[in-house]
Each structure stands twice: as C-alpha cells, then as structure tokens.
Amino acid sequence: MRIESVGDGMSISVDDMGNAIAEMLSEYQVEVTKKIDESSKAVANQGAKKLKETSPKTPKGGNYAKSWKAEKTSGKNVGEDPAYTIYNKNHYRLTHLLEHGHATPNGGRTRAIKHIQPVEQAVIMDYENAVEEAIKNATE
C-alpha cells in the first residue's frame, strides 16, 4: 500500500513510514542542536561583554573587568550537548569577594558589589528565549 502526498509530490509506502518519520525527526534534532549551539555562543559572549561593562573598575585600569571570558566547555565532540561557561580568567578569586563582600582585618565588612547576579539572570532569560526560538524556527 502506498500513501501519496498531493502537495509536494512525495510518496511513501506504509511499511517505510516509520523510517521516514525517524529520519525527519533526526534531521530536526540536528537542526535544533545546531541553532541552540549558535544561540548559546551568542548569549555567552553577550554575558561576558555585559560583565566587562558592569564589573567594578579600579582607577588603575580595571583589569578585573577586562578579564571576563566566555568559553565552550562541552559539546566539542559529536553527540555532546553544547555548554558555555562565563568566567573571570585572571581574577577568579575576586568574584565571590566582590559579589558578596568579605571580612576586613579590623573586624568590619566590605560592601557587596552585585555585578554578577543581574547579568546571570539576564543571560538565563536570553538563553531560554533563544532555545524557544531555535525550536520554533528549526525547520525554516
């Protein structure tokens, strides 16, 4: 028995329908994964750029702010889910101290400078929106 599609001239037998559906789903998965990876990279780079802009800077030049990087940490091999990490390459020890404050030698505390959390929340929202778009537009 054969089933014919009138719109695009494609015909398929009932016996081959399962394989055809599996192939189409596989192509869709590859396209979604590719678009999510592209979106992830863009969102991670935007996050690193935003942290460079909003991080505290010293009058000496702001080396802490300049050290933010975005790097692909997984998904480099076929079949792995892509993941990107935003981190401070040279001054990673300062991130927690600046974000949350710390004790001083005289018994006081420094004030917290919230610069990571707002960017983190924005990156999460941007990533969720990018994934939704990738899923919706994968077949286009």
Does position 7 have pLDDT exceeding 80, yes or no?
no
Taking the C-alpha atoms of residue 72 and residue 135, their distance in angstroms, rounded to an integer, is 21
Is the Cβ–Cβ distance between 109 and 97 less than 8 Å?
no
Nearest 5 degrees, angle CA 121-CA 127-CA 133? 140
Q: Is the pLDDT of residue 104 over 90?
A: yes
The pLDDT value given to residue 5: 52
Report pTM: 0.78
Per DSSP, the three-state class of 91 is coil
Q: How many CB atoms lie within 10 A of CB 96?
A: 11
In this structure, how many other beta carbons lie within 10 angstroms of the beta carbon of residue 68? 24
Which whole number is the average pLDDT over 95-115? 95
What pLDDT is recorded for position 8? 60
Contact 86/68 with Cβ under 8 angstroms?
Answer: yes
Model pLDDT for residues 75-94, shown as the tens digit of each residue: 777 667 789 999 999 999 99
